[in-house]
């Protein structure tokens, strides 16, 4: 039951499609009251997937091919339109002020890979694919907060008014979707998207509707925040869900993984929020401070150091990291565009390294500390050995021991 | 706790059930023979290149991720010659070591395990030094490895020799200065049928239950307590008859043919660019 | 990990296989995995003997890849291979069926790719079980017909004849052509304006 | 997963105490690991190169772990795993009791040669694997 | 403060009294709870006069109406909302019915037509009965393909039969079951 990211109430006259607001719960870990996730969307949401009843006679093969051609042409026309009118937007690499928020990317986790640093240590990286991201809609603060279930302060907070930018990922066959769903893409001149995600962006970094987003929106060495739904474990007991210790296997009857007592006699009730067995996982979680070590521009793939919430194949929202020391100093605002294409200077190669011609390799950018597989094995020198011996902490102790 | 695996079924080619109103006839007349003639392919590919197989977990089989991983692996194989070796072959690994004066560390041992796929691929070497058993685990694609040599290319009766931990030390002692025995190209890989004698129990694992062919009888040596309790132990060797469970974790011929053609293409590019004359896709048994 | 690694690997099974095995209702026989394999073994034996069988839908779906895999083993490896002999011997307890498999069924598919079997679904039959104080209890039977191709029986599905002359077809084709033309103009217009 | 309380250990230096424990067959066992765990009561396991407190021949001694039988899932690249857990005994001031280490020592231990006490132990080693 | 509390107790007693009075009414059948409330809606003046007249506790328990159902679990929000707002969606019309091109019988689109299949099934079981007439215990095996011959048909050409096991059927060949031609 793959669930797309659309599950939010929409009221108001214009059937403006709004994805769920995915701002991380601001800073403090709020005590989750009531249900932590809604598995069944509310019934008044208009359906997304078109339910096509099968008629008794089929289209002939010729018409089917014609239908496919037309759909392909439409997608091509839409993305071509989106590409050429994104040229004239003024895109620049500037220093990002403290209170400004850039747009993020809707990515898919496709697996985990080990990479090695130049001093031989192994880093386990998550591989995230940026699958044809386009900006679908940009709505002003007062119009979006009125049409959604959140309060005014979410739109007008201490960082200034926040615009809501909806980003779509993954072109899909439009015949699968209802007209209401497709209308938002036609309005933005963008091919029909399978997944949607939205970001709160400040005024100074606003992209325009229909703008394609690229993996180079983020830079190598920058830190990002990944928000996504965790793996759906289903109904799990206290030991797996909350890490309770359970009971011993011997000398206990019928209780080895139970949660034991649930409170004291005096309360005569069970406190709300008591940790009990129940549905585990499939909740929104945010992991921030993930360092980007490698970006493959040809395949639009980002390697992020560490793990991200969610199963393989699930979609995630990548945003700039907001932790003070890991914050992005300067980057392409509002987003990357081909006009910013800079010619990387030839990185200095040690003489005996065989130079592999550019056309045989992917167009990739590496972090400086990452080992390139095109270079020969690592050989340590005495310099490395000396740097390894850290501060000698035992001297103080020895002095104390001497009588 | 059972973790629900992938929700999506691996997207197979067009056909689902044939109960649609027109059951498309199976693709006729793809000559079975034509599959064999695809030039330069190695039938024993999964044994020689276990790291190029797909992950046994269906959810982790993603074409794009595998392509990127394969690109790194092939680049690495251009810089270091990773020889053909099996579980049971005697292998020497020289890796650069930060702490040693000579900055180089060499270990010789019999390969007892090869695990995992892709860049994560690991193999374990075992040797006995001054009658202390030592096992060292190596990541095949770790850049600190400088050289891997196969001193003796052979196979054993099992594809996992973890029982050497409990075997007599003589079965896992190999001289560090042993000179390599060249394997005549084109001849099939020798299978060393020696049966190993185990030390007295207690063992690290219950070898008498698992059906290893490389151990001579473990039943007589097993402790009587375990024998009395045997009827209680959960013995599920009927699992090997489950064809589709085996299918889910094994690799298919189409995937192997695809990977080998990718390797050949990579090899051809590099040879054309004149960067190297090294051959990546090679097999000692069918060397032409 | 214990047995020597299987020789050449087999091609892909051309049938949809669930990512996790189905728990077939096996009447509470423990261990349930062994009982499930027993149910599948009986279905496979019956399919090989009768070449067209009617089963519960979910059991037909679960057993079909097993029949495919057995035929594939016969086709790819032949009767002499040790792994094939072991599997045939276990999956077809009636020994005469093993000869049928090698003599009759496998030669049919020597030059064909998987799928070797076809599976058809019958409309669900609803039969009234009993009436419990004015509440009728109905049971729903989903039946599947699993057959090995090339059997002597009459074909279940008539050959599908082309239907390109239906009204929907003609109208849709015409509409699509017009839409294609307007798209083409829009594209040219946008490329010139740039 | 590693060496914890009640794990039996083998002494590999030529100290009298160690030899005595070996001959009488009463191997020393670990009673405390000098490592900070997340929670005080939950003492982490000792790995290669950690200092532990050992009960040997009725007395308590400190010791360095110079050979660990790490579990298969916790093994790292290039770190040798010995079939037995090997220790070197120390006296009160932290100097090694014996003057030679009979068994081969993993080279990884040389990484913490900056630690004065440990460098004395390393000085005794004669063979590295 | 205390007269509010007094008023509270008064109301409480007033609402409970009619309930108990109804419960003690032995002759009437056990009324459903709803009915009891209707009575409590009556003007309070007439209620005060009738007092509780249960002979004994056993009598009160014997009175069945004590055990009416009460909700055991709190209905979750989605379930409550689905009950209230999605009555149009609970009953889905079956919209995948198609007509079979051969015998214009209506059947779901992802299945085959059961009318056609019943004919095929009958003939299949006849052929299968004939096919199964071999005794495996004596060593007979199904080691040859099967060729079906119907009554009144001439001998099939050798090229088609080529070593198959021929099965005779008493009835004549139905029109829709085509003969095995060479091109197959």
Q: Residue B268 has what pLDDT?
A: 92
Q: Residue A78 has what pLDDT?
A: 79
Q: How far apart are CA A262 and CA A276, in angstroms?
A: 9
Rounded CA Rg of chain B = 22
Residue D119, token pair as written in the block: 């460098």
**Tokens 């050449």, residue located:** C8
Name residue D8's beta-bridge partners. Answer: D29
Is residue B2 scored above 70 in pLDDT? no
Residue A193, token pair as written in the block: 């998207």
D43-47, D112-116, E96-100 — which is least confidently predicted? E96-100
Q: Does B97 touch chain D (CB under 8 A)?
A: yes
Using pLDDT thresholds of 50, 70 and 90, give the confidence band for residue E52: low
Q: Residue A232 has what pLDDT?
A: 92
Q: How far is CA E83 from CA A20, A229, E70, E88, in A?
A: 24, 28, 18, 10
Q: How far apart are CA B234 and CA B7, in angstroms?
A: 30
Q: Does D107 touch chain B (CB under 8 A)?
A: yes
Q: Does A186 touch chain C (CB under 8 A)?
A: no
Check if the beta carbon of residue A55 is closer than 8 Å to that of residue C168: yes
Average pLDDT across chain D, whole number: 92
Q: Does B145 touch chain C (CB under 8 A)?
A: no
Q: Residue C161 has what pLDDT?
A: 64
Residue B71 lies in a domain: no
Summarize pLDDT for D21-73 with one digit per residue, the tens: 999 999 999 999 999 877 766 789 999 999 999 999 999 999 999 999 999 99
Instruction: Please report the sign of the dihedral spanned by the C-alpha atoms of residue C28, residue C29, residue C33, residue C35.
Output: negative
The closest of A289, A301, A359 to A24, measured between CA atoms, is A289
Number of domains comprising chain B: 1
Q: DSSP string spanning A156-209?
A: EETTEEEEEEEEEEEE--GGGB-HHHHHHHHHHT---EEEEEEEEEEGGG---T
Q: Residue A132 has what pLDDT?
A: 93
Residue-wise burial string across D48-76, b where 16 or more C-beta atoms lie within 10 A, e elsewhere = bbbbbebbbeeeebbbbbbbbbbeeeebe
Q: Which residues of E touch A44 (CB under 8 A)?
A: 85-86
Domain of B163 in residue numbering reads as 80-250
Check if the beta carbon of residue B164 is closer than 8 Å to that of residue B88: no
The closest of A290, A289, A288, A284 to A302, measured between CA atoms, is A290
> Cβ contact (<8 Å) for A43 and E101?
no
Class for domain D10-124, per CATH? mainly beta
CB atoms within 10 A of CB C33: 16
Q: How far apart are CA B229 and CA B225, in angstroms?
A: 6
Q: Which residues of C touch A85 (CB under 8 A)?
A: 194
Residue B68 lies in a domain: no
Q: Which of C96, C120, C152 sits opposite E112 (nearest CB)?
A: C120
**Tokens 């090694």, residue located:** D96
Q: Residue A86 has what pLDDT?
A: 59
Q: Does B28 touch chain E (CB under 8 A)?
A: no
Q: Residue B99 has what pLDDT?
A: 87
CB atoms within 10 A of CB E32: 10
Is residue B3 scored above 80 in pLDDT? no
Provide the greatest CA pair distance for chain E.
112
Q: Does E112 touch chain B (CB under 8 A)?
A: yes
SS3 A125: strand
Q: Which residues of C touch B58 (CB under 8 A)?
A: 19
Interface of A with B (CB under 8 A): 1-2, 58, 110-111, 113-114, 116, 119-120, 122, 127, 129, 231-234, 236-237, 240, 296, 299, 301, 311-313, 354, 356-357, 360, 362, 371, 373-381, 384-385, 388
Q: How far apart are CA E97 and CA E109, in angstroms?
A: 6
Q: Residue A385 has what pLDDT?
A: 63
CA closest to B165 among chain D residues: D83
Cα angle at A126 between B121 and A215, to 5 degrees?
130
Which CATH code of 1.25.40.10, 3.40.250.10, 3.90.1030.10, 3.40.50.720 fits the domain covering C32-148? 3.90.1030.10
Cα angle at A394 between A390 and A399, to 5 degrees?
140
CB atoms within 10 A of CB E112: 24
The residue extents of the domains of chain C are 32-148, 163-194
Q: Residue E31 has what pLDDT?
A: 46
Residue B210 lies in a domain: yes
Q: Could you tell me if residue A120 is left (phi over 0), alpha (psi between -120 and 50 degrees) or otherwise beta?
A: left
Check if the beta carbon of residue A140 is closer than 8 Å to that of residue A177: no
Q: Residue A71 has what pLDDT?
A: 87
Using pLDDT thresholds of 50, 70 and 90, give the confidence band for residue E37: very low
A334 backbone dihedrals φ, ψ, rounded to 5°: -70, -30
Q: Residue B156 has what pLDDT?
A: 95
Mean pLDDT, consecutive 10-residue stretches, chain A (403 aa), reads 40 40 37 58 83 70 87 81 67 89 96 95 97 94 89 90 96 92 91 94 92 94 95 94 93 93 92 91 93 96 96 96 93 86 59 70 93 92 65 51 47
Is the ipTM value over 0.85, yes or no?
A: no
Which residues between 7 and 26 in chain B have a beta carbon less than 8 angstroms from any beta carbon of chain E? 17, 19-21
Q: Does B208 touch chain C (CB under 8 A)?
A: no
Using pLDDT thresholds of 50, 70 and 90, give the confidence band for residue B15: very low
Q: Does E109 touch chain A (CB under 8 A)?
A: yes
Q: Which of A54, A64, A66 to mutate to test the interface with C (most CBs of C within 10 A)?
A: A66
Check residues E34 and B276 and name the one with the higher pLDDT.
Answer: B276
> Cβ contact (<8 Å) for C33 and B16?
no
The residue extents of the domains of chain A are 64-233+281-343+350-366
Q: Which of C12, C37, C144 sits opposite B252 (nearest CB)?
A: C12
Q: Residue A87 has what pLDDT?
A: 57
Q: How many helices (H) and strands (E) does chain D have?
A: 2, 6
Q: Residue C118 has what pLDDT?
A: 95
Using pLDDT thresholds of 50, 70 and 90, give the confidence band for residue C175: very high
Query: Is it the case that chain D and chain C have 3 or more CB pairs lying under 8 Å apart?
Result: no
Residue-wise burial string across A106-145, b where 16 or more C-beta atoms lie within 10 A, e elsewhere = bbbbbbbbbbbbeebebbebbbbbbbbbbbbbbbebeebb
Summarize pLDDT for B65-101 with one digit per residue, the tens: 999 999 999 999 999 999 999 999 999 999 999 888 8
Q: Which residues of C touch E101 (CB under 8 A)?
A: 158, 161
Summarize pLDDT for C53-112 with one digit per residue, the tens: 999 999 999 999 999 999 999 999 999 999 999 999 999 999 899 999 999 999 999 988
The closest of C118, C119, C121, C120 to C149, measured between CA atoms, is C118
Task: End-to-end CA distance of chain D: give it in Å, rounded.
Answer: 22
- How many CA atoms does the CB half-sphere of D53 hold within 13 Å? 11
Check if the beta carbon of residue B86 is closer than 8 Å to that of residue B161: no
D74 backbone dihedrals φ, ψ, rounded to 5°: -105, 10
Q: Which of A67, A80, A85 sits opposite C187 (nearest CB)?
A: A80
Q: Which residues of B touch D75 (CB under 8 A)?
A: 124, 135, 137
Q: Residue A357 has what pLDDT?
A: 82
Residue-wise burial string across A25-56, b where 16 or more C-beta atoms lie within 10 A, e elsewhere = eeeeeeeeeeeeeeeebebeeeebeeeeeeee
In this prediction the pTM is 0.83
Q: Residue A22 has what pLDDT?
A: 40
Is residue E127 scored above 80 in pLDDT? yes
CB atoms within 10 A of CB C86: 14
Summarize pLDDT for A203-254 with one digit per residue, the tens: 999 999 989 999 999 999 999 999 999 999 999 999 999 999 999 999 999 9
Q: How far apart are CA A63 and CA A361, in angstroms?
A: 41
Residue B136, token pair as written in the block: 């060292």
The closest of C24, C23, C10, C116 to C65, measured between CA atoms, is C116
Q: How far apart are CA A327 and CA A289, in angstroms?
A: 9
Distance from CA of C1 to the nearest CA of E (A): 37
Average pLDDT across chain E, whole number: 75
Q: Which of E103, E104, E120, E148 to mutate to test the interface with C (most CBs of C within 10 A)?
A: E120
Residue-wise burial string across B246-265, b where 16 or more C-beta atoms lie within 10 A, e elsewhere = bbbebbebebbeebbebbbe
Summarize pLDDT for B176-215 with one digit per residue, the tens: 999 999 999 888 999 999 999 999 989 999 999 888 999 9
Q: Residue B27 has what pLDDT?
A: 41
Q: How far apart are CA C70 and CA C49, in angstroms?
A: 14
Summarize pLDDT for E141-168 with one digit per residue, the tens: 888 888 888 887 877 777 777 778 888 8
Q: How far is CA A123 from CA A126, A128, A367, B262, in A?
A: 10, 15, 12, 27
Using pLDDT thresholds of 50, 70 and 90, give the confidence band for residue E32: very low
Average pLDDT over residues B262-280: 89
Q: How far apart are CA B148 and CA B95, in angstroms?
A: 9
A78-82, D108-112, E112-116 — which is least confidently predicted? A78-82
HEC secondary structure over D36-95: CCCCCCCCCCECCCCEEEEEECCEEEEEEEEECCCCHHHCCCCCEEECCCEEEEECCCCC
HEC secondary structure over chain B: CCCCCCCCCCCCCCCCCCCCCCCCCCCCCCCHHHHHCCCCCCCCHHHHCHHHCCCCCHHHCCHHHHHHHHHHHHHHHHHCCCCCCCCCCEEEEEEECCCCCCCEEEEEEEEEEEECCHHHCEEEEEEEECCEEEEEEEECCCCCEEEEEEEECCEECCCCCHHHHCECHHHHCCCCCCCCECCCCCCCCCEECCCECECCCCCCCCCCCCCCCCECCCCCCCCHHHHHHHHHCCCCHHHHHCHHHHHHHCCCHHHHHHHHHHHHHHHHHHHHCCCCCCCCCCCCCCCC
Q: Does C178 touch chain A (CB under 8 A)?
A: no
Summarize pLDDT for C138-159 with one digit per residue, the tens: 888 999 999 999 999 999 987 6
Residue A292, token pair as written in the block: 């980007």
- Regarding the domain with residue range A64-233+281-343+350-366, which homologous superfamily does it belong to in the CATH classification? Translation factors (2.40.30.10)
Q: Which residues of A touch B269 (CB under 8 A)?
A: 360
Q: Could you tell me if residue A281 is left (phi over 0), alpha (psi between -120 and 50 degrees) or otherwise beta?
A: left
The closest of A373, D75, A38 to E76, measured between CA atoms, is A38
Q: Does C183 touch chain A (CB under 8 A)?
A: yes
A167-181, B230-244, E4-18 — which is least confidently predicted? E4-18
Is residue E33 scored above 50 in pLDDT? no
Q: Residue A352 has what pLDDT?
A: 52
A–C CB contacts, 8 A cutoff, strictly below: 50
């Amino acid at each position: 039951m793959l669930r797309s990211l659309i599950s939010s109430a929409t009221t108001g006259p214009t059937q403006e499609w709004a994805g769920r607001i995915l701002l991380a719960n601001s800073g403090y870990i709020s005590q989750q009251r009531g249900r932590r996730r809604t598995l069944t969307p509310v019934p008044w949401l208009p359906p997304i997937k078109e339910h096509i009843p099968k008629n008794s006679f089929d289209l002939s093969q010729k018409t089917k091919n014609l239908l496919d051609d037309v759909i392909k042409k439409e997608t091509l026309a839409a993305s071509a339109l989106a590409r050429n009118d994104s040229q004239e937007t003024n895109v620049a690499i500037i220093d990002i002020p403290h209170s400004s928020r850039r747009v993020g990317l809707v990515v898919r986790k496709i697996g985990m890979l080990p990479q090695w640093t130049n001093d031989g240590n192994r880093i386990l990286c998550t591989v995230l694919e940026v699958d044809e991201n386009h900006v679908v809609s940009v709505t002003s603060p007062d119009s979006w907060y009125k049409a959604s279930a959140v309060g005014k302060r979410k739109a007008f907070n201490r960082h200034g008014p926040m615009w809501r930018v909806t980003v779509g990922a993954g072109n899909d066959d439009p015949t699968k979707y209802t007209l209401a769903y497709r209308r938002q893409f036609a309005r933005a001149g963008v091919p029909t998207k399978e997944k949607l995600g939205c970001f709160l962006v400040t005024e100074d970094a606003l992209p325009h509707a229909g703008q394609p987003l690229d993996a180079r929106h983020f830079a190598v060495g920058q830190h990002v925040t990944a928000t996504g739904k965790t793996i759906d474990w289903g109904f799990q007991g206290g030991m797996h869900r909350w890490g309770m210790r359970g009971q011993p296997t011997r000398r206990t009857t019928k209780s080895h993984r139970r949660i034991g007592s649930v409170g004291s006699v005096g309360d005569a009730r069970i406190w709300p929020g008591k940790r009990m067995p129940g549905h585990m996982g499939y909740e929104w979680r945010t992991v921030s401070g993930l360092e980007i070590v490698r970006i493959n521009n040809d395949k639009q793939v980002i390697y992020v150091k560490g793990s991200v919430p969610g199963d393989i194949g699930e979609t995630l929202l990548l945003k700039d990291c907001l932790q003070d020391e890991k914050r992005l100093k300067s980057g392409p605002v509002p987003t990357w565009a081909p006009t910013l294409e800079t010619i990387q200077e030839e990185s200095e190669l040690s003489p005996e390294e065989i130079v592999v011609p550019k056309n045989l390799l992917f167009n990739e950018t590496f972090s400086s500390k990452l080992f390139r597989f095109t270079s020969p094995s690592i050989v340590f020198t005495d310099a490395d050995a000396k740097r390894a011996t850290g501060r000698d902490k035992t001297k103080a102790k020895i002095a104390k021991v001497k009588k | 706790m059972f973790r629900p695996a992938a929700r999506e079924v691996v997207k197979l080619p067009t056909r689902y059930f044939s109960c649609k109103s027109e059951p498309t006839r199976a693709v006729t007349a793809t000559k079975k023979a034509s599959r064999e003639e695809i030039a330069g392919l190695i039938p024993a590919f999964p044994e020689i290149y276990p790291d190029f197989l797909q992950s046994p977990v269906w959810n982790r089989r993603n074409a794009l991720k595998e392509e990127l991983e394969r690109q790194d692996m092939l680049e690495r194989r251009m810089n270091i010659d990773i020889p053909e070796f099996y579980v049971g072959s005697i292998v020497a690994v020289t890796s650069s070591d930060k702490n040693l004066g000579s900055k180089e560390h060499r270990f010789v041992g019999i390969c007892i395990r090869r695990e995992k796929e892709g860049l994560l691929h690991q193999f374990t070497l075992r040797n006995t030094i001054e009658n202390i058993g030592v096992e060292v685990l190596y990541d095949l694609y770790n850049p600190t490895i400088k050289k891997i040599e196969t001193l003796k290319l052979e196979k054993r009766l099992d594809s996992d020799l973890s029982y050497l931990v409990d075997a007599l030390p003589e079965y896992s002692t190999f001289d560090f200065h042993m000179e390599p025995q060249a394997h005549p190209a084109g001849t099939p890989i020798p299978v060393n049928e020696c049966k190993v004698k185990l030390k007295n129990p207690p063992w690290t694992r219950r070898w008498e239950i698992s059906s290893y062919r490389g151990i001579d009888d473990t039943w007589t040596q097993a402790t009587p307590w375990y024998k009395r309790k045997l009827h209680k132990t959960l013995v599920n060797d009927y699992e090997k008859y489950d064809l589709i469970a085996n299918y889910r974790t094994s690799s298919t011929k189409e995937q192997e043919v695809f990977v080998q053609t990718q390797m050949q293409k990579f090899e051809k590019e590099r040879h054309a660019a004149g960067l190297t004359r090294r051959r990546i896709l090679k097999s000692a048994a069918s060397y032409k | 990990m214990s047995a020597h690694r299987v020789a050449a690997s087999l091609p892909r099974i051309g049938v949809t296989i669930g990512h996790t095995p189905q728990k077939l209702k096996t009447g509470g026989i423990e261990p349930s995995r062994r009982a499930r394999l027993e149910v599948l073994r009986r279905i496979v034996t019956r399919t090989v003997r009768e070449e067209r069988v009617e089963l519960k839908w979910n059991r037909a779906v679960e057993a079909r890849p097993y029949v495919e895999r057995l035929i594939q083993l016969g086709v790819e490896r032949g009767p002499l291979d040790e792994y094939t002999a072991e599997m045939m011997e276990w999956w077809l307890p009636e020994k005469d069926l093993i000869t049928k498999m090698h003599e009759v069924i496998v030669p049919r598919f020597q030059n064909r790719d998987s799928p070797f079997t076809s599976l058809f679904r019958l409309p669900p039959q609803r039969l009234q079980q009993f009436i419990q104080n004015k509440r009728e209890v109905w049971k729903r039977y989903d039946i599947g017909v699993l057959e090995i191709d090339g059997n002597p029986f009459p074909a279940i599905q008539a050959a599908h004849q082309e239907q390109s002359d239906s009204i929907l077809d003609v109208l849709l084709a015409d509409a699509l052509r017009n839409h294609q033309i307007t798209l083409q103009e829009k594209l040219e217009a946008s490329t010139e304006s740039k | 997963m590693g060496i914890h309380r009640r794990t039996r250990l083998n002494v590999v230096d030529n100290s009298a105490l160690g030899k005595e424990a070996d001959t009488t067959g009463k191997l020393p066992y670990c009673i405390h690991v000098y490592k900070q765990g997340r929670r005080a009561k939950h003492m982490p396991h000792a790995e290669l190169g950690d200092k532990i407190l050992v009960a040997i021949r009725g007395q308590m001694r400190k010791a360095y772990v110079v050979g660990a039988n790490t579990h298969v899932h916790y093994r790292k690249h290039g770190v040798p795993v010995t079939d037995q857990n090997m220790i070197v005994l120390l006296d009160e001031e932290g100097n090694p009791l014996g003057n030679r280490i009979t068994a081969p020592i993993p080279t990884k231990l040389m990484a913490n040669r900056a630690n004065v006490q440990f460098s004395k132990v390393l000085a005794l080693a004669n063979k590295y694997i | 403060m205390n007269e509010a509390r007094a008023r509270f107790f008064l109301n409480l007693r007033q609402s409970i009294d009619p309930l108990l009075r109804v419960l003690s009414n032995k002759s009437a059948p056990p009324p459903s709870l709803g009915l009891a409330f209707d009575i409590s809606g009556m003007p309070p003046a007439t209620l005060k006069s009738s007092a509780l007249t249960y002979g004994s506790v056993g009598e009160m328990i014997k009175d069945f109406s004590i055990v009416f159902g009460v909700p055991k679990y709190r209905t979750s929000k989605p379930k409550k909302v689905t009950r209230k707002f999605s009555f149009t969606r609970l009953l889905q019309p079956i919209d995948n019915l198609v007509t079979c091109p051969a015998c214009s019988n209506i059947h779901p689109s992802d299945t085959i037509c059961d009318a056609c299949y019943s004919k095929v099934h009958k003939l299949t079981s006849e052929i299968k009965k004939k096919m199964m007439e071999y005794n495996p215990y004596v060593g007979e095996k199904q080691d040859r393909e099967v060729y079906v011959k119907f009554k009144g048909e001439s001998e099939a050409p050798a090229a088609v039969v080529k070593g198959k096991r021929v099965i005779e059927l008493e009835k004549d060949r139905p029109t829709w079951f085509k003969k095995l031609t060479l091109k197959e």
